[in-house]
Amino acid sequence: MEFWDIYDKDKKPTGRTMKRNDWCLKDGEYHLTVLGVVARPDGTFLITKRVMTKAWAPGCWEVSGGAAQAGEESYEAVLREVKEETGLDVRNAEGGYLFTYKRENPGEGDNYFVDVYRFVMDIDDKDLKLQTEETDGYMFATLEQIKGFAAEDKFLHYESIKKVFEF
């Protein structure tokens, strides 16, 4: 059973936890998620396609990410998520934390902070070991390609994270 820490409106831990996907948060309470954008020096970005069996947004393109587990710092969480989903160890890559945004869903019990990271490293196809339960393909996309997917409503979180794609 996975647990997540509960944070207050100022992103401070409350000392309480919640079960994963147990949308019980009150207004003013949040959990923490992370996104790890992996870029190559040529300005392309690793994006993955969600498997069609996903309940939410099947077949959409995205960057690596997920929830921080209870007791896990944001940076540890993003390293773990990128490694689990792509096989890449970004620990020694250039870059790091860029910004945080907050999503509130009043009355739904699912409010969260998203810490956004960008890591730049020279990688190619042979370096990837995709998590097949989560992903159904990948590409090294240009900003224009990502914008195109976003315009078709096929790229997750684009409006919230678009500045991560600006060098």
What ranges do the domains of the chain cover?
3-157
What CATH fold (topology level) applies to the domain 3-157?
Nucleoside Triphosphate Pyrophosphohydrolase (3.90.79)
Higher model confidence: residue 107 or residue 90? Answer: 90
Q: What is the pLDDT of residue 49?
A: 97
**How many Å apart are CA 104 and CA 112, to the nearest integer?**
7
Question: Would you say residue 105 has pLDDT above 90?
Answer: no
Average pLDDT of 109-129? 96
Residue 13 φ/ψ, nearest 5 degrees:
-60, 140
Task: Read off the DSSP letter of residue 90.
Answer: -
pTM: 0.95
Q: What is the pLDDT of residue 167?
A: 82
Closest by alpha carbon to 78, among 98, 61, 58, 60?
A: 98
